[in-house]
Structure 1
Amino acid sequence: MANSGQTDTAELVAMVSERTTVIVRLALVADEHQWQLHHGQITLDDDTPVTERAWRYSTAAFLELPLPGPTAAALLHGDDQDVHDIRVVLPGPQSSSASTYRLRSQEQWGRVTTPWPRTEWTISRDHNTPQPGHDLLIGDGPSFLNFDQALSAFLYQRPHDSNADRSQLWRIVQPQRGGWLEKITIGPDLLTADLVGDDLDGDDLDGAVLELSSAAGHQPQPIYGAGTYHFELRHGLAHDSLLMLRRGDQWLDWRHFPAPAYGRARDASVVWEESGPELDILLASGEGKYLECKREVPEGDSRKKMLKTIAAFASQNGGTVLIGVSDDLHIVGLPEKPTVDKQELAVVGMIRDTVEPAPPYESRVIDHDGKKVLAIEVSGGGQMYSYRDRDSRRPEFYVRVGPNTVPARHPEIAAGFRQVPST
């Protein structure tokens, strides 16, 4: 199966119908004395516990409960159904195909991360479908400022920060628990991988291989079951290495390094025994669209450039600023005075005072052969972030083009703001 593609909706309907029970989450809006589906999720998994929930308001309802497979399939097909004493009405004609994604373990997509790999299908709604309003939700459930905040809390237990679910009518999730990489530990001369999985404890392991590959070659190891596997790193972990768990020509799980290069949320399953090798991998690609280096905590024009870059990282796909690294990518370390903690607090204060709204980022200190490097790892925030100088009231918007931070064009700014619904 390809990592992405299209699946006929009829195939999904048949697959759901064959299940005895599935887990369903429904977000409904009141429309002319009927309840219309705004967003639905179906989980095809017998091992996930179900916590039944029902939030009811005058203009919206949110339901989580197990449903017979045929009932969920009928909803997916576009047929009205009675669910929890509510007649659920589907909006308009159903799409004939679904976007298909196969995701490794610990991979975030659409605000969801799972310890195991999974396959996801999404079906978009008709663009002409009316959107829910922004009224206060008060009723039989937690109170919310508007529908979007309630939806984000119901699905992800997180505050609302994007309108990602406004384009999706359905999301179907199927966990793949045959085998996955639970934990990877990387040291200076050894990589250790802990494998778990339903199939790894059985006898059907023919062709199962765990291999570490790079431009210099690869090290394959046959899999004999769940457990711990080791790979020697004679010269450290090579840049652009790929750790692959596969059976025949089908992958079960994988990790690609460098993981930290794009400033996104860190992979909790990857543990670096020493942060120096991680920093070496990050610097191997050089400064570019996702990496900016500073010799020391900047001042003046250099300070403005760094903060504009942080705003650009947050407005796009994220990135990392390293302080304590020279322009020629040599690690010089932070100066001894003031203390490293004070230097980190100074940068955090700069970001707080000049980047609006507050960007999603983490700051941490990396020790490399006794030299301290401050890493500002910025995640893509799904909207536009501005740099606002304390002497100017006018916000400025920037994007990253290669290794340069440049002013955003009007279409780029407009597209960024369209990602965030008005309130």
Structure 2
Amino acid sequence: MDLKDLKNLVRKGEGSQLEFKLKAKHPEKIIREIVAFANTDGGTLLLGVGDDKSIPGLKFADDEEFILVQAIEKFCDPPINFQLERMAITNERDILIFTIPQSNEKPHFVKLSATEPPKAYVRVQDRSVQASKEVKQILRRENEEGIRFVFGEKEKVLMEYLAQHQNITLEKFAEIAKIPLWLASRTLVLLVLGHVLRVQPNELVDTYVIY
């Protein structure tokens, strides 16, 4: 990537596979983006670029690199592979380009301390959102072969509901199918893995739509 490519990339703005950060001031927050990229479709983090698409660069790129690389290695579990490139934009300022591929070891977690529960994140448009229990199960099993499920009464109720509504939540499915939450959860996960439904992760409540 050269400077022209960088400017063209920044011009597109943040999205599902692109994130801007001015500095590594709060690395414990930035690694959420790293984890979300690894758990979703991969992505690029540009350090030294503002949310407003400005490109001031980093005056002390060595320090910024050390802080963020150390955080990635310390707080991401399991470890995340990434590539790091440095690009000079002036004689005194650089951009750090972190490229994170989609992982084959999902889900990855941010694990800040032994007393705080680890949290997984996924990328939704230009945001990184915390993964629910169902999304974590889907990530863990998405490459599993031979997913099988029985299309019974509860699945019939679900599909009839979705024929008339845009989406459904876990709680709503349990309610209309008159089944416990654990069974509704397991059913939705299997239907997503079987490419019948698609999950739409959200910080408040996930929704499910027909694939």
TM-score range, shorter chain: 0.5 to 0.7
Specify the code of the residue in structure 1 equivalent to 2:36. Answer: A
Report the counterpart of residue 350 of structure 1 in structure 2. 71
Matched position secondary structure for 1:330: coil
Q: Does 1:288 align with 2:15?
A: yes
Report the counterpart of residue 415 of structure 1 in structure 2. 138
Once residues 392 and 419 of structure 1 are traced to their aligned partners in structure 2, the CA distance between those partners, rounded to angstroms, is: 29
Matched position secondary structure for 1:314: helix
* Superposition pairs of residues 152-191 of structure 1, within 5 angstroms: none
Matched position secondary structure for 2:72: helix
Report the counterpart of residue 47 of structure 2 in structure 1. 323
Once residues 40 and 109 of structure 2 are traced to their aligned partners in structure 1, the CA distance between those partners, rounded to angstroms, is: 12
* Residues 296 and 335, structure 1, Cα contact 8 Å, conserved in 2: no
Once residues 314 and 396 of structure 1 are traced to their aligned partners in structure 2, the CA distance between those partners, rounded to angstroms, is: 13
Change in Cα spacing, 1:420 to 1:349, as seen in structure 2 (3 Å) is farther
Report the counterpart of residue 99 of structure 2 in structure 1. 377
Q: Deviations over 1:151-172 (max 9, x none)?
A: xxxxxxxxxxxxxxxxxxxxxx
Q: CA deviation at 1:316?
A: 0.9
Matched position secondary structure for 2:49: coil
* Superposition pairs of residues 24-423 of structure 1, within 5 angstroms: 272=1, 275-299=2-26, 303-336=27-60, 340-370=61-91, 371-382=93-104, 383-390=106-113, 392-419=115-142
Structure 1 unaligned residues grouped into runs of 5+: 1-271
Matched position secondary structure for 1:396: coil
Q: Deviations over 1:223-248 (max 9, x none)?
A: xxxxxxxxxxxxxxxxxxxxxxxxxx
Once residues 412 and 376 of structure 1 are traced to their aligned partners in structure 2, the CA distance between those partners, rounded to angstroms, is: 25
Matched position secondary structure for 2:120: strand
Q: CA deviation at 1:360?
A: 1.7
Matched position secondary structure for 1:289: coil
Q: Deviations over 1:234-266 (max 9, x none)?
A: xxxxxxxxxxxxxxxxxxxxxxxxxxxxxxxxx
Specify the code of the residue in structure 2 equivalent to 1:290. Answer: Q
TM-score normalised over the length of structure 1: 0.32
Matched position secondary structure for 1:348: helix
Q: CA deviation at 1:276?
A: 0.3
Whose Rg is larger? 1
Once residues 350 and 334 of structure 1 are traced to their aligned partners in structure 2, the CA distance between those partners, rounded to angstroms, is: 18
Specify the code of the residue in structure 2 equivalent to 1:401. Answer: V
Matched position secondary structure for 2:14: coil
Report the counterpart of residue 199 of structure 1 in structure 2. none
* Residues 317 and 380, structure 1, Cα contact 8 Å, conserved in 2: yes
* Residues 81 and 100, structure 2, Cα contact 8 Å, conserved in 1: yes
Once residues 378 and 324 of structure 1 are traced to their aligned partners in structure 2, the CA distance between those partners, rounded to angstroms, is: 17
Matched position secondary structure for 1:335: coil
* Residues 28 and 71, structure 2, Cα contact 8 Å, conserved in 1: no
Q: Percent identity?
A: 27
Structure 2 unaligned residues grouped into runs of 5+: 145-211
Matched position secondary structure for 2:138: helix
Once residues 314 and 304 of structure 1 are traced to their aligned partners in structure 2, the CA distance between those partners, rounded to angstroms, is: 16
Matched position secondary structure for 1:416: helix
* Residues 360 and 380, structure 1, Cα contact 8 Å, conserved in 2: no
Bigger strand fraction: 1
Once residues 419 and 364 of structure 1 are traced to their aligned partners in structure 2, the CA distance between those partners, rounded to angstroms, is: 30
